[in-house]
Structure 1
């Protein structure tokens, strides 16, 4: 997951840099050229087919049972992520940084938002869930250790060691002269210190888990945003393809 997140993050950064190329480059004729047309077709196929396949497998039970026997749902999702961002890169190359009409501008904006929201939903939310599980496991282990410490603290003290410590004449004399700590040793002191530190760690973990849960609930809205931007993108893409075919055929005439 970590390597995959790094690769996709790099592709996303490359996409944003490529999009910002419109500040320095502008080619009005490239989108209608043969190369631009091939990039458009490839980009559209990569952004349309894999998401439709993944959605069908995920939501249609019969298709899901048939496909998941051969390919896991996670593999399909990973393929959807890769093809989506590669398709968007091809689409930006297809534009030639020629953003002169509202349809093209909105289409590009929805495409970038769809890719970004998908990246957040796929990697950030999954990472947050994994981190919460790890913190809960650590919290359980700390709670077990704390219970063991409290049980040990409840045991009776070693009378012989307490007697020796409290009757150490040299220790008492040095303490009176140098002002050191009292010579009487509380055998529970190390256990109490560990218990205090465990209590602090448990409190910190409980606060972190609660914070993660709140953040996770709020960031689930990214899934809604991803679906909304994807729907808007597909509608605009249909209009874009229709206009390209319509005006292209008129141009041939």
Structure 2
């Protein structure tokens, strides 16, 4: 996951650099050239086919039953992530940095927002889910240890009163001299001290789990944003393809 995240961040940076290329370069005729057309068709296929295949497999039981027998959902999601960002890079190259029409500008904006929201939802949601699972497992382990300690404490005999008084007087005198807090030496007190430390660790883990669950819920909103931007992007893409075909055919006449 770390290696994949590094690759994706690098590709996002490349996409941003290519997009900012319009500041130093513009090629008005490149988008309509043969090379530009090939880039456009390839980009459209990469950004349409794998995402729609993943969405259909995820939401339609019939597709899910048939496709997941050969290809796992994780593999489909990985294809969706990589093909989308590669398609976005090819689409920016296709433009030739000519951002003049409102349709082209909004299409580019929606494309970049879709890629960014998908990346955020994919990796931050996975990270928060992984953190919650790991901390929950650690919490269960500490809770088991705490219950075992409580049982051991219940089996320990009570210490003699004279011994406790003597020990407390010596401890207090020593602690008042050196300025420290003494720790009892009888087995039951040692077990109680360990149980106290465990309760502190359990409380810290419970707080951390709540924090990560809050982060997970907030990150889940990015998936909703991703769906919204994706829908807007596909609508604009259809309009862009229709206008290219319509005006292109009219030009040939």
Pair 1:137–1:31, CA change in 2 (3 A) = same
Q: Distance in 2 between matches of 1:7 and 1:179?
A: 55
Contact preservation (8 Å) 2:43, 2:88: yes
Cα 1:244–1:139 shift into 2, 3 Å: same
Task: Write the deviation string for residues 16-71 of structure 1: whole angstroms up to 9, x where unpaired.
Answer: 22212222222212111211111111000100111111122222222221111111
Q: Which residue matches 1:90?
A: 90
- The alpha-carbon distance between structure 1 residues 174 and 146, as it changes in their structure 2 partners (threshold 3 A), is closer
SS in 2 for 1:219: helix
Give the match for residue 110 of structure 1: 110
For residues 64 and 191 of structure 1, what CA distance do their matches in structure 2 show?
Answer: 54
Q: Secondary structure at the match of 2:155?
A: coil
- 1:189-228 correspondence runs (5 A): 189-228=189-228
Using a 3 Å threshold, how does the CA distance of structure 1 residues 184 and 120 change in structure 2: closer, same or farther?
closer
SS in 2 for 1:32: coil
Aligned-pair CA distance for 1:151: 2.6
Which deviations, in whole Å up to 9, do the C-alpha atoms of 1:95-116 show, x marking residues without a partner? Answer: 1111111111100000011111
CA contact (8 A) 1:175 1:183 kept: no
Contact 1:57 1:64 in 2 (8 A): yes
| Structure 1 unmatched runs, 5+ | none
| Correspondence for 1:233 | 233
Pair 1:176–1:125, CA change in 2 (3 A): closer
Q: Is the 8 A contact 1:54 1:77 kept in 2?
A: yes
The reply on whether 1:50 has 2:68 as its aligned counterpart is no
Please list every run of 5 or more consecutive structure 2 residues that lacks an aligned counterpart in the other structure.
none
TM-score, normalised relative to structure 2: 0.86
- Superposed CA deviations along residues 180-211 of structure 1, whole A, max 9, x for unmatched, are 98898444444333223222211111111112
Counterpart of 1:134? 134
Instruction: Check if 1:64 corresponds to 2:61.
Output: no
Over the aligned positions, Cα root-mean-square deviation in angstroms equals 3.1
How far 1:153 sits from its partner (Å)?
A: 2.9
CA distance in 1, matches of 2:118, 2:178: 68
Please say if residues 117 and 225 of structure 1, whose CA atoms lie closer than 8 Å, have aligned partners that are also in contact.
Answer: yes
The CA distance in 1 between the partners of 2:78 and 2:209, in whole Å, is 28
C-alpha contact 1:114 1:229 (8 A) present in aligned 2 = yes
Q: What secondary structure does 1:220 align onto?
A: helix
